Structure 1
């Protein structure tokens, strides 16, 4: 990633003046709790040590000029007074969506120059889009003196995703990026946004959290994400509850008689996944990270078999990592591609890496990108 100083210097060379500041927001790994957030359930993500950064300067007019250090989109120009979802393209729909969402909340958005840099892999299920949005919302909150708290910024970026970008996501990703803390996972209740930091120090336990990016790109806006969310809504309606968070594992027997087989499997995943999050939080507090491996394994099986959001590359990554010594592994993120995580003893790390690379080569898949992550601090001004 470009240093903060180099990013500010590049901004000045492109836009002709120094930025008013530089803001950073991390991507996230979800340790456990997938597709539970929009069901008002529980999640356990952590912010990672890869992030998006934006250098921003307020303009005296309503012109928006946006540029990134990656890709070939070039400089994008828009009018802050006429933001339209239909005309947003590529990565720019994320900052433009945040501007639009803040406008809907009565925040006056001036013209801006913005330069984006990011080392969160795109399409890998590590919330690269939310990292951009959270960096931008922090910058605008400060530059416009909007006075929004973390919970308000979470809801603003969710609106940007849902209503501008067109992705029906919940609040997990933004919450992790905005409210994360080094050395901790975030136990988040998605019904009321209450949050508790849970110590997650894999290194002290002799473990490394490996991310296996399968390079199978996914998009919430264009995948089966919306259909899964619709199934969950149908399940809650038939079962007569506000959200699937209100269904307990003991209720699944009765639910199976009321729901069609596909909807029941979707519901069963969410209900059992919520329970796994609660178990993981309890185990991290009592026995530490070495105890949660079986829960990661069970989570992946549920996503593969009940929620149908895995893919052959993810399954191969998970199975191979386990066989090579990981104590637990699962796909992470919305699914249909992206990344798996493998909680791995440090002395088995190289063996797991090599085994997954060989397995992908034998299967004829593109070489995966494998790297370690650790819990990092949430969004902050860095320059």
Structure 2
């Protein structure tokens, strides 16, 4: 079934009332969207005070009615996107990364549902999904995210209550700023609170969401995106050591377990909780593998510019690159490219040698970027951005012409360094501009923001 056909099928099911006698979802539009006023405004000079008050009541009535559909909001959560300064395609190789969470992201609001179903309304694209809360079936595209989160929570011992979920975001999809991880983080935090659970360990949540990405969405990503979104710290980048985070060889996540036999969520009202201490585990201990690095830019600016080419990791060459790295490990007799020595690329056939060389040199660029930030050496950070991009283009071969044109334009505008961000094959370009150089009009300034969190309902 095509995506459009699936949407039509969900809408038809909602209209027919399948799944129980609960309240019907909004037909084909977000439940919180504003409606036009009922009736014309008329001529203010001729309208009496009573007529004006009647018009106001007519305008307010639809909003009040919609607010009651499905009950009040029980939980709301925000998941931030992320920008990776340096350290691309290293996370699934047990390597080093230097991301930061940003202030843009995805917000999910949950409302109770009495009919055993999860209804998802993607406000930005005007699409809907409906599935059983106790047995999510697999689906393609954006529908795989909520289904995967619900199934993995149940497999981890957190069956969720039926819910009506509304999803809205401020991140461009497919732009390399991890809108997928932002959505996953917002979904998992909102569903946990909606179902009455306290917040589990955040590193465990990152690993759970990585399983969603791998086994439900079909993108064989590492832990970079989910960790950056869950542990973001204002004013800081995070030096991630993926080997330390995973306690050894990351490997492929296990297949998704079958969900629990029923929603059976624990009794009790959801109590929103703050995310706790940044970078801390359940007992307040620092999380091994996460090190905050102050990102003090002064009058310098970091910006992203969209190349105009959308990318979808599951459908791009991303998984192929991961398979090439796994094959290189087999030939070298090691479990991870983190264990490869500097001579390893010369012992491999191409393109495997180029892939390994990128990973080794990118890990070293992360180390040098941390040193540069602590020394306030922003020109050096710009040079490292340039070197990272050249490696992604020439050794890892994940750039495309539109990205190269965007990089060239930013450098011509005075950027001290620029590189593609995200998995490649499209998306955005990150650039560092010194004082006195003006970024182009289509640039989006990015600054480090806080972690995924519950927000005001």
TM-score of Structure 1 vs Structure 2, range by shorter chain? 0.7 to 0.9
Q: Name 1:52's counterpart in structure 2.
A: 106
Task: Give the whole-Å Cα distance in 2 for the aligned partners of 1:195 and 1:35.
Answer: 18
- Supply the distance in 1 between the matched residues of 2:66 and 2:336 (Cα, whole angstroms): 49
1:13 shift after superposition: 3.3
Aligned partner (choices 172, 197, 220) of residue 168 of structure 1: 220
Alignment of 1:213-224 (within 5 A): 213-224=306-317
Show the counterpart of 1:138: 189
Q: Residues of 2 paired with 1:152 and 1:244: CA distance?
A: 24
Q: How many angstroms does 1:11 deviate by?
A: 11
Distance 1:101 1:10, change over 3 A: farther
User: Which deviates more, 267-276 or 104-113?
Assistant: 104-113
* Partner SS for 2:437: helix
1:199-248 per-residue CA deviation (whole Å, 9 max, x = no partner) reads 1122x2x1111101112010111010011000111111211222111224
Q: Give the aligned partner of residue 123 of structure 2.
A: 69
Larger RCO (alpha carbons 8 Å, 6+ apart): 1
Aligned positions of 1:64-213 closer than 5 A: 64-73=118-127, 75-85=128-138, 88-144=139-195, 145=197, 147-193=199-245, 194-202=289-297, 204=298, 206-213=299-306
Q: Map Cα deviations across residues 74-99 of structure 1 (whole Å, 9 max, x no partner).
A: x32110122122xx244232122111
Note closer, same or farther for the CA distance 1:11–1:180 as it changes in structure 2 (3 Å cut). Answer: farther
Q: Does the 8 Å contact 1:154/1:178 carry over to 2?
A: yes
Gaps of 5+ in 2: 1-31, 35-62, 246-288
Which residue number in structure 2 is paired with residue 24 of structure 1? 78
Aligned equivalents of 1:222, 1:231: Cα separation in 2: 16
The corresponding residue for 2:362 is 273
Question: What is the distance in 2 between the residues matched to 1:94 and 1:213?
Answer: 24
1:259-292 deviation line (CA, Å, top 9, x unaligned): 1110100111111101101111111112343431
- 1:238 is aligned, of 317, 327, 331, to 331
Aligned positions, number: 353
Cα distance in 1 between the residues matched to 2:203 and 2:65:
30
Question: Equivalent residue of 2:303, what SS?
Answer: strand
Whole-angstrom CA distance in 2 between matches of 1:102 and 1:379: 17
> 1:372 maps to what in 2?
445
1:172, CA displacement in angstroms? 0.4
Q: How far, CA to CA, are the matches of 1:181 and 1:347 in structure 2?
A: 28
State how far apart, in whole Å, the 1-side matches of 2:321 and 2:294 are: 31
Q: How does 1:284-303 map to 2 (within 5 A)?
A: 284-303=373-392
Given that 2:71 and 2:112 are in contact with CA atoms closer than 8 Å, whether structure 1 keeps it comes out as: no
Larger Rg: 2
CA drift at 1:311: 0.7
Aligned twin of 1:337: 426
One of 243, 249, 262 as aligned partner of 2:351: 262
Q: Say whether the 8 Å CA contact 1:276–1:299 is kept in structure 2.
A: yes
Q: Name the one with the larger helix percent.
A: 1
Cα 1:288–1:100 shift into 2, 3 Å: farther
Aligned-partner Cα distance in 2 for 1:288–1:54:
39
Aligned residue for 1:353, secondary structure, equals coil
